[in-house]
Chains A and B, each alone.
Chain A
Amino acid sequence: MLRYTVRRLLQLVIVVGVLSLLLFAWLRSLPGGPVSALLGERATAASRARLTQELGLDQPIFVQYWKFLTRAASGDFGVSTGVQPGDTASEIFLQRFPATLELSFLAIVIAIAVGIPLGYLAARRRGGWLDNLSIVGSLVGVAVPVFFLAFVLKQVLAVDLGWFPTAGRQEGGLDATRVTGFFVLDGVLTQEWDAAWDAIRHLILPAIALSSIPFSVIFRITRAAVLDVLDEDFIRTAESKGLTTPVIRRRHVLRNAMLPVVTTIGLQTGALLAGAVLTEKVFAFPGIGQALALGFERRDYPVLLLLILCAAGVFVLINMLVDLSYALIDPRIRTAGGAR
């Protein structure tokens, strides 16, 4: 097991390393570049040259990459040029990561809280109206573009009805104390309940929009898994030895059906970031996704590089944890050594 873990960790390092090189080369081949983004198209050649030199972009790309690597080793990922000029890329990451984490967490909680019970009920009453209705719902959930759903929620519940705020993470006037960077947690820790409540209200609509796809996936996996388990021999055995239905459901059906569901949840969490780019833009939510969108517009190399690397790293790490959990459950994978 240890050997397997080490090998997978080594793979992670290699993937992130290769990605950093590819990303670096790719960023520099983007049209425009930070100099045009900062100075505009009409800047004089002299001022362009000066800024190019200041940013170190006049050096050969291998020199630039080497510099990036050596600095990154000591935790310095460079200074933002466009997203929040002057701040370091790591500052921006640390500031925005909690926001996206809060949002993703709530989204996945919503997806689980609705998806698993619904999937379970749908499987138990297979072919019933609830089953058919929720299957249609989950198919529509995948077909609706995430940003459109976000727009509709914002327009109806925030703008027209005024039940929720339309944008941001928290009202500025609350003057909340910052402790961890997680606004809801901060409010609870400092017992500023109004601040915590306000942060939650800001999270709800974007989280619902973001949860549409993970909900659909979790619902369908739960339903399929429960149906699979209900067919198993050990359920018949449990029935025939006289266990009561609630006990069978709790101890045998749910527990066995949860294995594939748990892995799905892990993978969906990793994929949330793509949806966050769209949702955060609609709600002007200051998270990683918004910074990515802005970074592309303004060609902010250091910020893009760090954020995408972190995103890919988290994604690969989650994939790895899922594979490891498989290996824990199924010893055959460990001895075969395969499992990609």
Chain B
Amino acid sequence: MSTKSKIDALAATAGKIGDDPGVSVAAAAWRRLRRNPVFLTGAVIITAFIVLAILAPFIAPHDPTDPMLGDQVVKARNQIPESQEGHPLGGDQVGRDLLSRLLVGSQQTLLVGVLATLIGLTGGLILGTLAGALGGWVDSLVMRAVDVMLSIPGLLLAVSIGALFAQPNIYTLIVAVATVQIPIFARLLRGSMLAQRHSDHVLAARALGVKQRAIVFRHMLPNSLGPVIVQSTLVLAISIIEAAGLSFLGLGNPDDRIPEWGQMLGRAQNVIDSHPQLAFWPAGCIIVVALGFTLMGESLREALDPKSRR
């Protein structure tokens, strides 16, 4: 399925009525998810990830910004500290404790994922709601713009945005990754609005004389929550992976005092032949977390959309 048709299929689930009478879609979905091993695996991974990110400063054995060998500065590749007592994973290129950096790095990685998703969602929410609620020329204008943005491959668009900033930092990286998601969320929300436009609950509200604005904000938007949650979960994974790609291309945060997995992985490219562990650990973390979000997102999608349930 193309991105577009995938988004549209997801949007069509907005405001659906459950199969079983008397049970809401959300309740029915939850009932299915509770026993779904795929969803549970993803949920366990993500819970562990979030707990780790919160506890990281307390459980990290060393200061992630401090060279573990004291004053001795690592100058060459062959001085990168190997695994030793007190430092089970050894050190990084500058001699900082790798384990501590991985633990603390979870915070920035979580920040990248969450902020990028929130920005993408907010932008898409505004555009998509405007287009879906107002219709007419606003709709045409917004959707043409969205189509042009969707016509550029995602990473290329992110690279284009990322290159605009003279001094890249973690926030410019987040903005670059988030921008790619705006048209996707916009299309999703517009689709959810359209799917509900002629549904019974909107018709009923209109017949009762509820104002258009109230219909959009109190009835249509809350009913679009399901598809939005599904897409957000998937975007969390995508943005963490794409942020790593941008770091690899040299558009990441140049300040590496505060660690982030994507940045650690991107920076390891020069020493990967002699010290593969510097790439493997952050890559492993990214893969596990991205997998966790994907497992959750895909099982949520299945639970919400009876057609894709198999």
Which residues of chain A have a CB within 8 Å of any CB of chain B? Answer: 15, 18-19, 22, 26, 29-32, 126, 139-140, 142-148, 151, 155, 159, 221, 224, 227, 260, 263-264, 267, 270-271, 273-275, 277-278, 281-282, 292-293, 296-297, 308, 311-312, 315-316, 319, 322, 340
Contacts and interface: CB of A to CB of B under 8 A. Distances in A.
B196 interface: no
A31 B164 contact: yes
Contact of B287 (A32, A144, A274): A144
Contacts of B308: 224
B61 interface: no
B147 A273 contact: no
A224 B310 contact: yes
Contacts of A275: 155
A292 B273 contact: no
Given A155-B273, A267-B2, A273-B156, A31 B165 contact: yes
B170 interface: no
Interface string B223-262: 0000000000000010001001100111100000000000
Contact of A340 (B4, B165, B279, B310): B4
A270 B153 contact: yes
A315 B154 CA distance: 11
Interface residues of B, number: 43
A274 B164 contact: no
Pairs of residues from A and B, 8 with the lowest C-beta to C-beta distance, nearest first: A31-B166, A274-B155, A274-B153, A143-B290, A143-B291, A267-B2, A148-B283, A316-B151
B99 interface: no
Nearest to A293: B249
Contacts of B286: 143, 145, 148
6 contacts: A140-B287, A145-B244, A148-B265, A148-B279, A271-B153, A281-B249
B245 A145 contact: yes
Contacts of A277: 155-156, 159, 249
A15 B163 CA distance: 22
Q: Main secondary structure on chain B at its contact with chain A?
A: helix
Interface in B30-48: none
A88 B67 CA distance: 48
With most chain A CB atoms within 10 A of its CB, the pick from B151, B165, B251, B287 is B151
Given A140-B287, A148-B279, A277-B249, A26 B156 contact: no
Given A263-B2, A273-B156, A311-B153, A145 B265 contact: yes
B272 A155 contact: yes
B298 A147 contact: no
Given A31-B164, A147-B269, A308-B160, 11 more contacts: A126-B310, A145-B241, A145-B245, A147-B245, A221-B1, A227-B310, A264-B2, A273-B156, A293-B249, A315-B151, A315-B153
Nearest to B155: A274
A26 B248 CA distance: 22
A266 B192 CA distance: 27
A19 B241 contact: no
B306 to A, nearest CB: 13
A19 to B, nearest CB: 7
B59 interface: no
A160 B163 CA distance: 35
Given A19-B148, A144-B287, A227-B310, A273 B153 contact: yes
Contacts of B163: 30, 296
A30 B245 contact: no
Interface in B142-185: 143, 147-148, 151-156, 159-160, 163-166
B1 A139 contact: no
Nearest to B290: A143
Contact of A145 (B2, B3, B283): B283
A193 B294 CA distance: 44
